[in-house]
Structure 1
């Protein structure tokens, strides 16, 4: 993880130098990210002011990540966590989540890839990937400092058994929270598609349909996608999340690989959390348009998304603890 984080940071350090020199592709600030107004935390920045900062942070990060591969100091680990949290949860807004949700439109030819994933959005996704590399670097360095296995984190054989038993308890609670929270959003969007002004005024529904025909149907489709994700979340505590059920041709009775559930659940947890934090930020700062402030259900459910993301992340981690096999490095189980 350390060399990978160092490489990622080096690339952005070089890009920062290039952008400082006038190279195209700077992805931050309202002059270069035309859809980032208000929603992007970096919307106020300019190329001349921010590009050198990107260069310094990238090159400094490469040095820290490289150092963590040799010596795991508390200060370096703290820096790694700052990079991880900043890149994963602070810098992105809700666009990575929305674009992933709308990706099926690419398959039916409604929009092109460049329109669906413009460079500022792709950059946010790359930053999330870099944040995950930094988180992995911090975790491995912390394990090395504690003299535990750098691969699995176990320090003794009993830790694996105790961890599975505890995960079965708190993981169930986290799963139910991760299932319940998105249903609030789903109910509002289904209601609007049916013409029911749940949490909004009837005038707001009419105006939305007049300005963008079919907008509430699209909202209902997103709500249905969220409900489907909530149902799949139950697999983290159900038997069919470990053994494929009989109604799945070709896979029935086979063991579900843990990463088949862990990877997508982790990515959704991250994107939901970043989107929710954006809604919290613009609400607290009073940056919501008046029509949204007056119709609480337009953003009210999204304010709970950080709780959804945290709960889903915890449920996914509990699933990992319950299902992880004996470590190939240290042999502990």
Structure 2
């Protein structure tokens, strides 16, 4: 009898070990570093192709003036050399990040590269087209081109490198690669700051929505009245556009509030079919993250354009020069909006995540 029980215990243990080994092989921390390296190989090769004279170079100003992506200010040859160099560095640094030893210099350099490259891909590559496409989709107007696809590819690369940096950082401090927890049981700082971050993300889009609503009511807040008349003449759906854009911001603010409210964790009971059920974490995190990236990137471009124009660092944009704060002023809040929304989504995730399936902490 005792021998039989021992055999059962061994079988159960063996099954659990096999399951854990399979989880270790298939979990995202095991492959995210390789994904970042593969992305660097492919995107670096693409830039090498453009550098050698290939067609399809995506970083053109296209008449967007100060509101084009930052990378468009670089000559094509210079931009190509920079990208090829950074991607080659990424391959080497990615290999370093796979090593179990953590030399102090190499660790810091890997952190600096991973986060720096990620932020550059998020802030210097996208322009205002992504957020515009998302907004006009609510008017059933869909526009997509190669430049926008390239921006999405760069955002994906940025996310790969960010996640690889997170895993590497967790390894370096001997924490669980999957959840980041260690034996000290310390609460994540994102949870402590989550409420404040969420409130910033809720309030930041309101100035933009308010201006749009006043324009929809034919009140030329912050702009020349002739500007509204010309806009309405050029666009028969101008009033509807203003109502939709303003409403999208307000609805987004209300949904953002759900990141710190009970109804953001459990569907209200009056919801058909799903009332009373728990809200899937990723149902909130993924949309919030997508909007956060698009808003932050566009806000960075707008803010740079406004500052550059104010300091006469570039040609005076007609809209900025003639229409004053009403046309572009509310976009100053977009960077805080996007950053706060992204961090609030992270705080929501950390607050709601359960016990880690890998380390059993939590």
In structure 1, the residue matched to 2:59 is: 28
- State yes or no: 1:37 paired with 2:71: no
- Asked if the contact 1:29/1:45 (under 8 Å) is kept, the reply is no
In structure 1, the residue matched to 2:201 is: 178
- Asked if the contact 1:29/1:46 (under 8 Å) is kept, the reply is no
Relative to structure 2, which stretch is displaced further, 20-29 or 322-331? 20-29
In structure 2, the residue matched to 1:61 is: 90
- Residue by residue over 1:78-117, the C-alpha shift from the partner in whole angstroms, topping out at 9 and shown as x without a partner, is 1111111101123212211111222345xx5x55xxxx11
In structure 2, the residue matched to 1:82 is: 116
- State yes or no: 1:97 paired with 2:131: yes
The offset of 1:289, in angstroms, is 1.7
- State yes or no: 1:236 paired with 2:264: no
Structure-2 separation of matches of 1:152 and 1:220: 42
Structure-2 separation of matches of 1:216 and 1:23: 44
TM-score by length of 2: 0.83
After TM superposition, list the pairs within 5 Å mapping 1:127-138 onto structure 2: 127-138=154-165
Relative to structure 2, which stretch is displaced further, 95-104 or 316-325? 95-104
Give the alignment's Cα RMSD to 1 decimal. 1.9
Cα distance change on mapping 1:6 and 1:167 into 2, 3 Å: closer
- State yes or no: 1:218 paired with 2:241: yes
- Residue by residue over 1:153-187, the C-alpha shift from the partner in whole angstroms, topping out at 9 and shown as x without a partner, is 1112622xx33xx6555322221211111111101
- Tell which structure's C-alpha radius of gyration is larger: 2
- State yes or no: 1:195 paired with 2:251: no
Partner secondary structure for residue 71 of structure 2: coil
Question: Unpaired runs of 5+ in structure 2?
Answer: 1-31
In structure 1, the residue matched to 2:337 is: 308
Partner secondary structure for residue 43 of structure 1: helix
Structure-2 separation of matches of 1:131 and 1:228: 28
- Asked if the contact 2:130/2:148 (under 8 Å) is kept, the reply is yes
TM-score by length of 1: 0.90
- State yes or no: 1:332 paired with 2:361: yes
From 24, 41, 45, give the equivalent of 1:14: 45
Partner secondary structure for residue 127 of structure 2: coil
The offset of 1:208, in angstroms, is 1.8
- Asked if the contact 1:37/1:43 (under 8 Å) is kept, the reply is no
- Residue by residue over 1:45-103, the C-alpha shift from the partner in whole angstroms, topping out at 9 and shown as x without a partner, is 33333223322222221221232122551111211111111011232122111112223
Structure-1 separation of matches of 2:130 and 2:40: 21
Aligned pair count? 319
Question: Unpaired runs of 5+ in structure 1?
Answer: none
- Asked if the contact 1:200/1:298 (under 8 Å) is kept, the reply is yes
- Residue by residue over 1:106-149, the C-alpha shift from the partner in whole angstroms, topping out at 9 and shown as x without a partner, is xx5x55xxxx1111111111111111111111111111111111
Structure-2 separation of matches of 1:12 and 1:207: 43
Structure-2 separation of matches of 1:263 and 1:329: 23
Structure-2 separation of matches of 1:204 and 1:103: 24
Relative to structure 2, which stretch is displaced further, 61-70 or 251-260? 61-70
- Asked if the contact 1:189/1:216 (under 8 Å) is kept, the reply is no
Partner secondary structure for residue 42 of structure 1: helix
